[in-house]
Amino acid sequence: MHPIETRTDSSTERKIAVITGASRGLGKNMALHLAERGVDIVGTYREAEAEAEDVVAAVAARGGRATMVRLDLATFADIEAFAANLPAMLQATFGRVTFDYLVNNAGHGNYTMIAETTEADFDRLYAVHLKAPYFLTQKVLSTIVDGGRILNISSGLTRFSTPGSSAYAMMKGGVEVFTRYLARELGPRGISANTIAPGAIETDFGGGRVRRIVAAMTAQGRAGLPDDVGSAVAALLSDGGWITGQRIEVSGGMQV
């Protein structure tokens, strides 16, 4: 792995967040909101190296430090290698071997009806959205600090149904169950675990498909913006230590 990184001097120990899928969309927005709160970033990306470099520069412009690492979450060996190399990476970039916040954000969409969903579609969703968060979290448990925070990204589709999203929503439902077990099992270490469930957000996820969702479906009359989710994530990680085991929907009141 050859991380993209920037380094600046810091006289005080800053918090560090590990964010998967941080090169674009919601992950990028989370990284920037956290950087504005004085949090340094370890981000992952799968293919978008130029966009990953842009995130590093944007974090630096906010006075923070960042490193971006290529990681294919569908490949178990990549997850193991990332976790094994993480302490050395943290030491080299930030001068410490632990981190504070884990955000399991990376993912992709699949918009096919049940009758049309292939085994390959299902397996890819399972690998990236359910297996990867489970085992990445497991592998970094020795590196996250006591009192740290874990945030898993789910979807409003676990609460309401939209035809064509069954397999995706099933994986996110599993993530929500996983989150509750994390909260219970890691509670003795003071580690909180929660789920953020975005509603319809205007990003390039799924080719911008959510832009076509009718705004009238939300109480606030619009689709969400990345800033709506990024700011909620930053607030929950920075200030929400007593909140754990919860599913928090950030949707503007979609289908209430």
Give me the domain span that covers residue 221: 4-250
Average pLDDT in the chain: 90
User: Can you give the pLDDT at residue 8?
Assistant: 44
Q: Give me the DSSP letters along 85-124.
A: HHHHHHHHHHS-S-EEEEEE---------GGG--HHHHHH
Give the whole-angstrom CA distance, residue 183 versus residue 54. 34
Q: What is the CATH number of the domain that holds 195?
A: 3.40.50.720
Judged by phi (left if over 0) then psi (alpha if -120 to 50, else beta), residue 178 lies in: alpha
Indicate if 168 belongs to the active site: yes
In a domain, residue 255? The reply is: no
Which range is least confidently modeled, 28-42, 123-137, 202-216? 202-216
Q: 211 pLDDT band (50/70/90 cuts)?
A: low
Active-site pick, 45, 126, 168, 181: 168
The residues with which 5 forms a beta bridge, in sequence order, are 67
Q: How many domains does the chain have?
A: 1
In a domain, residue 62? The reply is: yes
Name which of 143, 117, 132, 124 is nearest 20 in CA terms: 132
User: Can you give the pLDDT at residue 232?
Assistant: 92
User: Can you give the pLDDT at residue 219?
Assistant: 81
- pLDDT tens for each residue of 61-114: 999 999 999 999 999 999 999 999 999 999 999 999 999 999 999 999 889 999
Beta-strand relationship, 4-6 and 66-70: antiparallel
| Residue 69 near residue 43 (C-beta atoms within 8 A) | yes
In a domain, residue 246? The reply is: yes
Higher pLDDT, 127 or 215: 127
Which range is least confidently modeled, 1-5, 125-129, 169-173, 218-222? 1-5
Name which of 255, 198, 171 is nearest 30 in CA terms: 198
Whole-structure pTM value = 0.90
